[in-house]
Amino acid sequence: MSEKKKHLNFLNTTWGFYGLVVFLFCVTSYWAYQEEFTLGAKGSFQQFILLINAIPAGLLMFGIALYFNGRLKYWLLMIIDFIESTWIFANILYYREFSDFLSLGIIKSGGNVQNNLGKSMMEILRPTDFLAYLAFVVLVILLLTRVIKVDHRPFKKWKAFSVTVISFVLMGGEYALASTDRSGLLTRSFDNNYIVKYLGLNEYAAFNIYQTQKESATRSNAKASDIDSVLRYVKSHRAAPNAEYFGQAKGKNVFVIHLESFQQFLVDYKVDGKEVTPTINKFYHNQNTVGFDNFYNQVAQGKTSDAEIMLENSLFGLPQGSAMVTYGASNTFQAAPAILDQKGYTTAAFHGDVPSFWNRDSTYKSWGYQYFFSSEYYKTKPNYSVGYGLKDKIFFKDSANYLQQLPQPFYAKLITLTNHYPYELDKANIDFPATKTGDKTVDPYVQTAHYLDQAFAEFLDYLEKTGLMKNSMIVVYGDHYGISNNHRPAIAQLLHKKTVTSYDLAKFQKVPFMVYSQGLKGGINHTYGGEIDVLPTILHLLGDKNNNTVQFGTDLLSKKRDQNVAFRNGDFVTPTYTKVGNTVYLTKTGEKINPTSKQRQQIDKIQNGVTTQLSLSDRVIYGDLLRFYTPKGFKKVNTKDFTYKYSTALDNLKKVQTTKPTSIEAKNGGKSTMDEYSTNAPELK
């Protein structure tokens, strides 16, 4: 028998085919690791781990088929291969946009995010992604053409069992190997990239499922006393208000304007000599605006929903999935709308997407919003929407129509949409040159940002004309990055640099945060902070001492406050250090340091604080701990008090015009003020 034939014969045995399937699976995984994910494998040891990390899981998963005989065994091998390929494929697509891996939380929330995710997926698909299925297709062909024949001989169960045992032993070895390089890999688990890098996509999936199950058990096991350590932390962490700002906006309306995907670098940024966002720039530099230039987004997978939960609750989003989706309906919250509602405010959220997205319709009830004006409340025609929903100019205008009916003082949050990936906009609305980095995802970003700025300008003009500018505090913020870290070359060009380091990328996570209120002492404030700090800041400006609520942030205007900004993966920025993964930079210069023992001590201390802050916040959400603690002067929210049914909301608005005639419209003699609203939206002409 020739050598070649012997090899072919081997492939016709169970062992041979099983080996081939596992081998091809490992090659496919390795290809994805190297080409599709940015796992940051440094040095030969980590590279070696990457090379072998798919083997144990591959042996184990495909080993399941070995317990069966004949054709069924081959069917199972192919089914498992198809599932594995799909898992790699789906992660490649998800990772390209979100720089993270799919989690059970995200998959479970599929119902809420599906349409948008699905849409993005189509946009980012590349033909090479299908290489994930190459091995599967090759194997099918080999079987169908009978180049490889099915081995019908029975396969001993003890052999299958040995494979299972050996797989687990290898997996243990792999974990031990990984642990020598990175201790606390699973216990601290802040970054999914680490888990995939060291253990692989299968282990990541298993760990993720385990964690998710543990979370649901945590809630039922939580006890009332669990809140004690949280209260101790929050109390010791609180920052006293700054007398210069405390109560400066007392009694005023509050606007929270959520600028979608808007990064701080856009402020004062120019393309071809023209400002991208002239109105936001002017607003930022207004003498009555406090603008922050070291304010960071702290979101994770939950993106907008993470920003929202931080902004209005001063609780962090979760390391995986979206807290609004998983816990928004069931948990007890003490959120901004509820706090202000109980102080006589009317509270309303405005957003031009479907109400179910990010589970807003349920979550907003838990947060105590009286009104939620979602896409169902806006008249729409096919060209009124782009991507995720209503175009910003139309959105702001139609929101004004409801705003004018809200009894004052009100708390109104307006979430914009048009400046969202993939930054598409029709010609008639494009009024700005794209950047020329050559990266198709990045270049139109400034165009939708410019459109958002124009929409904001029209809205401000209306506030000015109706007097709302005078008696309102206007908070403007960007929710998270618009350009993900996967676009390094383009980012370098935008920042006018040759290359970007991890330090630059950390700095790139800055988003705008500014507060305007007539009479407020404005200026650019350099304090380091993030989204977690917004609620305490707002409450102090409104003259609420806010002494006994559970909030993990601190007032940004306070003179003595903790300026350590935690990122959701445990990295951090402080005025001194910027820590990304295992690397530490000096924040002022961007210089990478080899910490001295004294610096090491400081860094460890900050890391400890960051880890504590994040994990205590998680404990509050996982354990639903706020159900055990109601601050003095706060009434627990009853979600049944709220409905966002269109007809009911309209009835209510009509009623309050007489029972509490303080709305803009009521003060205008019951007449609409909409003729004060001018827009150049081409769709409305």
Give me the active site residues, please: 304
Instruction: Confirm or reject binding of residue 120 to Mn ion (CB under 5 A).
Output: no
Q: How far is the CB of 614 from Mn ion (least distance, A)?
A: 21
Using CB under 6 A, pick the residue from 25, 98, 284, 357 that binds ligand GP9: 357
Region of 423-431, 444-452, 478-486, 616-624 interacting with Mn ion (CB under 5 A): 478-486
Using CB under 6 A, pick the residue from 420, 507, 540, 561 that binds ligand GP9: 420
Q: Considering beta carbons, is residue 32 or 415 the nearer one to ligand GP9?
A: 415
**Which of Mn ion, ligand GP9, none sits in contact with 215, Cβ below 5 to 8 A by type?**
none
Q: Is 215 left (phi over 0), alpha (psi -120 to 50) or beta?
A: alpha
Q: Considering beta carbons, is residue 297 or 527 the nearer one to ligand GP9?
A: 297
Nearest C-alpha neighbor of 142 from the set 2, 16, 1: 16
CB atoms within 10 A of CB 249: 26
Q: How far is the CB of 649 from ligand GP9 (least distance, A)?
A: 19
Residue 251 burial by Cβ neighbours in a 10 Å radius (0-12, 13-18, 19+): middle
Q: For the chain, what percentages of helix, strand and coil (3-state, to nearest 5) are there?
A: 55, 10, 35
Instruction: Confirm or reject binding of residue 479 to Mn ion (CB under 5 A).
Output: yes
Q: How far is the CB of 119 from Mn ion (least distance, A)?
A: 14
Give the binding-site size for Mn ion (rule: CB under 5 A).
Answer: 3
Q: Considering beta carbons, is residue 304 or 493 the nearer one to ligand GP9?
A: 304
**Peptide bond just before 56 cis, omega within 30 deg:** no
Q: How far is the CB of 503 from Mn ion (least distance, A)?
A: 24
**Which of ligand GP9, Mn ion, none sits in contact with 475, Cβ below 5 to 8 A by type?**
none
Q: How far is the CB of 280 from Mn ion (least distance, A)?
A: 17
Asked if 297 and 77 count as a contact pair (C-beta separation under 8 A), the reply is: no
Nearest C-alpha neighbor of 468 from the set 276, 244, 656, 257: 257
Asked if 565 and 243 count as a contact pair (C-beta separation under 8 A), the reply is: no
Q: What is the three-state SS of 505-571?
A: HHHCCECCEEEEECCCCCEEECCCEEHHHHHHHHHHHCCCCCCCCCCCCCCCCCCCCCCCEECCCCC
Q: Considering beta carbons, is residue 253 or 374 the nearer one to Mn ion?
A: 374
Q: Considering beta carbons, is residue 37 or 357 the nearer one to ligand GP9?
A: 357
DSSP-derived letter for residue 498 is S
| DSSP-assigned letters across all residues of 340-401 | HHTTT-EEEEEESS-TTGGGHHHHHHHTT-SEEE-GGGS---GGGEETTEE-HHHHHHHHHH
Q: Considering beta carbons, is residue 308 or 544 the nearer one to ligand GP9?
A: 308
Q: Which two tokens stand for residue 12?
A: 């016709």
Q: Considering beta carbons, is residue 341 or 531 the nearer one to Mn ion?
A: 531
Q: Which two tokens stand for residue 27?
A: 């090659």
List strand residue ranges (DSSP E) for 153-278, in order: 253-259, 270-271, 274-275
**Which of Mn ion, ligand GP9, none sits in contact with 365, Cβ below 5 to 8 A by type?**
none
Q: How far is the CB of 302 from ligand GP9 (least distance, A)?
A: 7
**Which of ligand GP9, Mn ion, none sits in contact with 357, Cβ below 5 to 8 A by type?**
ligand GP9
Region of 2-10, 107-115, 172-180, 475-483 interacting with Mn ion (CB under 5 A): 475-483
Q: How far is the CB of 617 from ligand GP9 (least distance, A)?
A: 19
Which is it for strands 592-593 and 583-586: parallel, antiparallel or unpaired?
Answer: antiparallel
Instruction: Confirm or reject binding of residue 136 to ligand GP9 (CB under 6 A).
Output: no
| DSSP-assigned letters across all residues of 72-92 | HHHHHHHHHHHHHHHHHHHHH
DSSP-derived letter for residue 580 is E
DSSP-derived letter for residue 264 is G
Site string for Mn ion, 203-242 (x = CB under 5 A): ----------------------------------------
Site string for Mn ion, 294-313 (x = CB under 5 A): ---------xx---------
Nearest C-alpha neighbor of 326 from the set 218, 228, 205: 218
What is d(CA 488, CA 83) in angstroms, rounded to the nearest whole number?
A: 32
Which is it for strands 583-586 and 577-580: parallel, antiparallel or unpaired?
Answer: antiparallel
Q: Considering beta carbons, is residue 361 or 479 the nearer one to Mn ion?
A: 479
**Which of Mn ion, ligand GP9, none sits in contact with 353, Cβ below 5 to 8 A by type?**
ligand GP9
Q: How far is the CB of 390 from ligand GP9 (least distance, A)?
A: 10
Q: Residue with structure tokens 């796992």?
A: 39
Asked if 419 and 358 count as a contact pair (C-beta separation under 8 A), the reply is: no
Q: How far is the CB of 624 from ligand GP9 (least distance, A)?
A: 23
Paired strand residues for 7: none
In sequence order, the 6+-apart residues with CB closer than 8 A to the CB of 357 are: 112, 113, 116, 388
Using CB under 6 A, pick the residue from 369, 388, 432, 459 that binds ligand GP9: 388
Q: How far is the CB of 357 from ligand GP9 (least distance, A)?
A: 4
Q: Considering beta carbons, is residue 361 or 555 the nearer one to ligand GP9?
A: 361
Using CB under 6 A, pick the residue from 36, 81, 174, 353 that binds ligand GP9: 353
Q: Considering beta carbons, is residue 109 or 502 the nearer one to ligand GP9?
A: 109
Nearest C-alpha neighbor of 637 from the set 380, 367, 282, 392: 367
Give the binding-site size for ligand GP9 (rule: CB under 6 A).
Answer: 7
| Phi (first) and psi of residue 82, to 5 degrees | -65, -45
**Which of ligand GP9, Mn ion, none sits in contact with 388, Cβ below 5 to 8 A by type?**
ligand GP9
| Phi (first) and psi of residue 355, to 5 degrees | -65, -25
- Name the residue number minimizing CB distance to Mn ion: 304
Q: How far is the CB of 300 from ligand GP9 (least distance, A)?
A: 11
Q: How far is the CB of 304 from ligand GP9 (least distance, A)?
A: 3
Q: For residue 169, give Cα distances in angstroms to 56, 57, 166, 456.
A: 8, 11, 5, 60
Site string for ligand GP9, 293-332 (x = CB under 6 A): ----------xx----------------------------
Q: Considering beta carbons, is residue 393 or 420 the nearer one to ligand GP9?
A: 420
Q: Considering beta carbons, is residue 303 or 391 the nearer one to Mn ion?
A: 303
**Which of ligand GP9, Mn ion, none sits in contact with 441, Cβ below 5 to 8 A by type?**
none
Q: Residue with structure tokens 């599929």?
A: 110
- Residue type at position 276: V
* Binding-site ranges for ligand GP9 (CB under 6 A): 303-304, 353, 357, 388, 415, 420
Binding residues (CB under 5 A) for Mn ion: these are 303-304, 479
